[in-house]
Chain A
Amino acid sequence: MDNLMARSDAEERSAGFAARVAENQRRVFHIAYGVLGNWADAEEVSQEAFLHAYRKFSSLREAEKFRAWVNRIAFRLALNRQRGLRRRLVRDSTWHMAGPSDTVDGSSHAEQRVLLERLRNEIEGLPAKLRRVLQLSIVEDMDANDVSLVLGIPAGTVRSRLHAARKFLLEAMK
């Protein structure tokens, strides 16, 4: 009887975790990718973040709690990896960057790749406070509240830093 209960508990845990991974994997990957700019590293960091979450899953069963926690841990892990790889960080070639939906003609595609690379360099040049807010804010499905939970700063500060970062980039991308 106890065995049956324990098994059903484990199955419920696995099913709950699988659902949470499915809900969050895309956003978590984009958080890591926004920092690292490398597909393989981003996927490794995302997996690591979910494994951390699995170990703490008993206290993260609520969807909102899980979401905020996994966002934060993914961002921290990505920053840690970026620090570790700073000297040998290899971004994906811009061929990788364009998604399958970007079926534009060759010339505009090439122009976009160049602009994207330039934009990435400009973002790297931003002060850390602005850069972190921007890296998280550009992730689809991340609003100012989500970013504020990851960085531990008020949502108003997130908005003002995001505005400052965009202004900086607007001026830099002449």
Chain B
Amino acid sequence: MKNDCAKWNDPLLEAALTGTVPLDLQQHLSACPSCTEEFSALRARRERLDSLLPLVAQSGEPSPEFHARVLAAAEAPGNARRTPPWLAWGLATVAALLVAALITSFALRSRTSPPVPQAELAAAQKLAEWRAPSDIFLQTPGSEMLRSTPKLGVSYLRLPAKTDKEKRP
């Protein structure tokens, strides 16, 4: 095909596909051997394409037992009347929403519960500060000393100093 024939590329393709050759293309073909050759090649290719295309889908066939297998699967107990997925998901969503609503209502209720009476608060405070009488037995003389850290050079034993009168016999 010559360079000046490039404008006929698309009309040639269309003509090969549809089988209809417009008048202007017919005139060009009668005067252009290279385009005539190209047109013949395109038509041959189109015929080959038409014969190959059905094979893309139809070169396989279902197996002879396909029909029986489908019917058996359809009649199987697990297949008929199965809960549709949208219904299962819907039920799951409703359940989740109910749980969330319950949790929220409990949280709100605890937040807005009525105030505790002062008398009850005072009693609770008293109870918290109460110490059993036996606590006194757990204390030792050194407990006070053990609470404070001894420092170097400082005596933490405060023994009363004897006066001169006491020293004399």
Contacts and interface: CB of A to CB of B under 8 A. Distances in A.
Contacts of B82: 55
A116 B52 contact: yes
B54 to A, nearest CB: 6
B37 interface: no
Interface residues on B, range: 20 to 34
Interface residues on A, range: 35 or more
Given A14-B71, A54-B74, A97 B66 contact: no
Contacts of A135: 56-57
B46 A97 contact: no
A26 interface: yes
B53 A139 contact: no
Interface string B75-94: 10001111010000000000
Q: Which of B54, B58, B63, B73 has the most CB of A within 10 A?
A: B58
Contacts of B25: none
Interface stretch (B11-19, B100-108, B123-131, B145-153): B11-19
A115 B60 contact: no
Contacts of A54: 74, 79-80
A79 interface: no
A29 B60 contact: yes
B46 A170 contact: yes
Given A17-B74, A31-B57, A43 B52 contact: no
Contact of A120 (B56, B75, B81): B56
Interface of B: 13-14, 16-17, 42, 45-46, 48-49, 52-63, 66-67, 69-71, 73-75, 79-82, 84
6 contacts: A21-B71, A25-B66, A25-B67, A26-B61, A42-B62, A99-B59
